[in-house]
Amino acid sequence: MKALLALESGKVFCGESFGAEGETTGEVVFNTSMAGYQEILTDPSYEGQIITMTSPHIGNYGVTPEDEESRKPFGAGFIVREISGIYSNWRAQESLQAYLQRYGLVGISGIDTRALTKHLREVGSLRGVVSTRDLDPESLISRAKASPSMSGLDLAKVVTCEKPYQWVKEGARWLRKAVTEGAELAPNEKFRVVVMDFGIKFNTLRSLQKRNCQVIVVPAKASAEQIGSLAPDGILVSNGPGDPAAVTYGIKALQQIIEKISKSPKKNRTALMGICLGHQLLGLALGGKTYKLKFGHRGGNHPVKDLTTGKIEITAQNHGFSVDAGTLSKDEVEITHVNLNDNTCEGLRHRRLPIFAVQYHPEASPGPHDAGYLFDRFISEIAANHA
């Protein structure tokens, strides 16, 4: 079935439908990962975005429940050069085509994704429409122009969990359990970490649990008081979609948490770590500002330099906004990481308090594992403040 992709810039691409039939609207972005399409689709940070894969051949290894990074796909649509007609992998349980159909996700294949990516790099991320229903280019361009802009959009409240839960492993299964007030740590658990869910990925929770943490996840709108009542040793501020400046409730909660940390005895301070959107929210809570990047960073091959060690990491990234390093107080905040492609801020830490954050994804899934050590750094911060 014929399908069209129309951009607000006036460019139109003609291709073929795969996945669900219908129409979808969102910000068109590109991801440079060569694999990991299921993890990408189920990353809540893609809420409201139509994802273009720059790798030309997608779907050849199918999909499996083991590769889910959240409860469902969150991308608004999917764009590929060629969708594989068959899949071959011992782990696969269904085709990518069937998976998209099952979740009602609209896809388009057979277009020149290289030309599309070059256009997005030149012009910037654009609002777009993918449709199998309306094949009138002018009609679709008008609807793309009328669709919501990502700037000023709070999407964290769309993807977050509805109520707190504890993330546990029983045998080979990962489960959500109700949070029991006053519950003690299990014998194998060293610290309690509360995760503020602005669009959390499962592998972040697995990374914490594997490091002997009791993991409790709370909704994005949880107050500082509610989080404090759980008596956390550490707090992790998750990744997520949308404009960080629009998440005013999260910024307010973090400001209150930071104030409480600053007033706590040195050996009884809660450590704070931010990832991606969490990095941006912490930057805002510490008095900085954020801005929208031209086309964002999305993929598993972004070089980042750790200024504290001089080492370079190849990182997994997915974000369209960035912290303006120049707006942060140099007396209070140190920039710890920079992107080697465009020199944007990729990490920060407080000079006196156990607070640090990175713009990229140390949990990967998909992507390289160079940055996994940051979870160990977080645990070390917790341990140092609870000696």
**Sign of the torsion angle spanned by Cα atoms 96, 100, 204, 344:** positive
- For residues 14 and 78, membership in a common domain is answered with yes
Mean pLDDT of residues grouped by 10 in the chain (387 residues)? 97 97 97 96 97 97 95 95 95 96 97 98 97 96 96 97 90 80 84 97 95 96 96 97 98 98 91 98 98 96 96 96 97 98 98 97 93 95 86
Task: Kindly give the interhelix angle for 248-263 and 277-285, rounded to the nearest 10 degrees.
Answer: 60
Any idea how long the chain is?
Answer: 387
Q: Give the number of other Cβ atoms within 10 Å of residue 290's Cβ.
A: 20
Q: Which of 120, 146, 172 is the last residue of a domain?
A: 146
- For residues 254 and 185, membership in a common domain is answered with yes
- For residues 139 and 172, membership in a common domain is answered with no
Domain span including residue 141: 2-146
**Sign of the torsion angle spanned by Cα atoms 257, 263, 266, 268:** negative
Catalytic, 276? Answer: yes
pLDDT at 365: 92
- For residues 85 and 202, membership in a common domain is answered with no
Terminal CA-CA length for the chain: 63
Which tokens go with 226? 């509610």
CATH, residue 81: 3.50.30.20
- For residues 135 and 185, membership in a common domain is answered with no
- For residues 210 and 94, membership in a common domain is answered with no
- For residues 140 and 184, membership in a common domain is answered with no
pTM above 0.85, yes or no: yes
Q: Within a domain: residue 151?
A: no
Catalytically annotated residue among 27, 69, 363, 381: 363
Catalytically annotated residue among 279, 297, 319, 361: 361
- For residues 212 and 255, membership in a common domain is answered with yes
Q: Within a domain: residue 366?
A: yes
Catalytic, 363? Answer: yes
CATH, residue 301: 3.40.50.880
* Tokens 């009138």, residue located: 136
Spell out the residues 6+ positions from residue 175 whose beta carbon is closer than 8 angstroms to its own. 167, 168, 169
* Tokens 């997915």, residue located: 318
Question: Rounded to whole angstroms, what are the CA distances from 271 to 117, 132, 155, 264, 353?
Answer: 40, 49, 26, 11, 8
* Domains of the chain: total: 2
335-322-44-77 Cα dihedral, nearest 10 degrees = -150
- For residues 37 and 94, membership in a common domain is answered with yes
Q: Which of 105, 128, 146 is the last residue of a domain?
A: 146
Q: Within a domain: residue 66?
A: yes
pLDDT at 387: 63
Phi, psi for residue 200 in degrees, rounded to 5: -65, 145
**How many whole angstroms separate alpha carbon 316 and alpha carbon 297?**
9
Catalytically annotated residue among 39, 276, 279, 346: 276
Backbone angle region of 110, left / alpha / beta, with phi > 0 → left and psi within -120 to 50 → alpha = left
pLDDT at 45: 97
Q: Which of 146, 181, 198 is the last residue of a domain?
A: 146
